[in-house]
Structure 1
Amino acid sequence: MSTDPAAITDVQVDGVPAGPAPAGVFVSFEGGDGVGKSTQVALLGHHLASLGREVVVTREPGGTPLGLELRRAILHGEDLDPRTEALLYAADRAHHVASLVRPALARGAVVLTDRYLDSSVAYQGTGRGLGADEVERLSLWAVQGLLPHVTVLLDLDPAVGLGRLTGDPDRLESAGDDFHRRTRQAFLARAAADPGRWLVLDASQPAEDVAAQVRARLAPLLVAAGAAASVGGAA
């Protein structure tokens, strides 16, 4: 898949037309619990803001007021069967993209999200055993095919990542070692199948080293986006 921000990053799903192509740059951060996603999102956000870019930092679930309610229900509420869990994530994602992500991209912002649809494919599709293809189709339908320009996978042994966490574990964090090993392998398999979109980094490195590699990957993309915006403005 092209990482040119002028290219369409929406894919058609089962004959359903994709949404409008974004003008901004969309970056997602993925990986297991405790790998440092929120740290890297914050570091990249500060860097881009210092360059004068409009940056929208968000997360899934919980990037909107409705998302916060769904986050509490999914992660800290009563036990849910896997299909209900997958559908709640898809509902959050549909609202998140329609109300926050697409409007930000349409005005040329850089959107950084801590988790996106690849988490559902890994966690509910593979981890919960619902089937990666089924969950991917559901997620793509929910967002009208919108995919990130770049997805950063912070890869780490699940035992190490979970050992970094503080506080009481949520429903997914406490799902067990086998569950977390399956989700890690699912992320790695998705990254290997689409290297044009994914950047896989060793999350055991110092945070600043990881951040530098992320910036290096995004630099040409941001230059191209700036050039495209300039051409559009001149027109």
Structure 2
Amino acid sequence: MPSVLTNFIVFEGLDGAGTTTQMQLLAEACDRSDRPCRATFEPTDKPIGRLVRSVLQKQILTTPLALAMLYAADREDHLYNPVYGLIQDLQAGKLVISDRYLYSSLSYQGVECDFDKIASLNEFPSPEYVFFIDTPVEECLRRISSRGNETELFERQGFLQKVKANYERIFSTLDPEVKLVRLDGLLKKEEIAAQIQEILFNR
């Protein structure tokens, strides 16, 4: 298995940064241009991923390390499951677009757990591209609040500031083969999407 997965595209950012929106817009652009793609997300909607979401929504109480282990198990399944693992789609020549990947685990779980321990749980292949939607913490919180939903486990200002610092720590030591693209999260979603498509479709 290569250390960097060609045609694997990952969106990262704080909660409220717009990663889900950009994943969806890129998938729609692929469909319009008849480019084979698979849009996906983490935590997944499979059994382990649903368990993760139950913890995030405070329906299940567990320890930070146990949650980190669940994230890693969900990621292992997401990549390698013999029925729906995304490795199969990559091998079939599809562009795989994921809303979050291992960098979210390192950034979020690395706040409450030993960072090196979280890294050891997440020794998975790297994506070809990481699009980091760089959005101020205050703007992310404003967007989260406007959703009207109950705040999830990680949606607190002090916590998100530490998460952002962890992202910077990760990116400073990123595999040089991984293409990191920083995007201004305060731009209109259409402007961000256009920048992404310019990079991917004209490479």
TM category (shorter chain) comes to 0.7 to 0.9
Match status 1:25 vs 2:4: no
Specify the alignment match of 2:116 in structure 1. Answer: 133
* CA deviation vs aligned residue, 1:70-98 (integer Å, no higher than 9, x gap): 23333122232111111010111111111
Instruction: State the TM-score, normalized to the length of structure 2.
Output: 0.87
Structure 2, unpaired ranges of 5+: none
Distance in 2 between the 1:110 and 1:150 partners? Answer: 11
Deviations along 1:39-76, one digit per CA (max 9) or x if unpaired, are 100111111122211111111002x4224422333312
Q: Which runs of 4+ in 1 moved over 4 A?
A: none
Structure with greater Cα Rg:
1
> Could you tell me which residue of structure 2 aligns to residue 207 of structure 1?
189
1:169 is displaced (CA, Å) by 1.3
Q: CA RMSD in A?
A: 1.9
Q: Shift of residue 9 of structure 1?
A: 4.3
Listed one character per residue, the Cα deviations across residues 117-161 of structure 1 (whole Å, up to 9, x for unaligned) are 000000011x21x23332122111xxxx31110011111111211
Aligned match for 2:133, one of 126, 151, 154: 154
Is the CA contact (8 Å cut-off) linking 2:49 and 2:71 kept in structure 1?
Answer: no
**1-structure distance, mates of 2:16, 2:135:** 9
Whether 1:55 and 2:37 are equivalent positions in the alignment is yes
Count of aligned positions? 194
Give the corresponding residue for 1:70.
51
Identical residues among aligned pairs (%): 29
Structural mapping, 1:88-107, within 5 Å: 88-99=70-81, 100-107=85-92
| TM-score, normalised with respect to structure 1 | 0.76
SS in 2 for 1:32: coil
The whole-number CA distance in structure 2 between the counterparts of 1:57 and 1:41 is 7
Structure 1 unaligned segments of length 5 or more: list them.
1-7, 12-21, 222-235
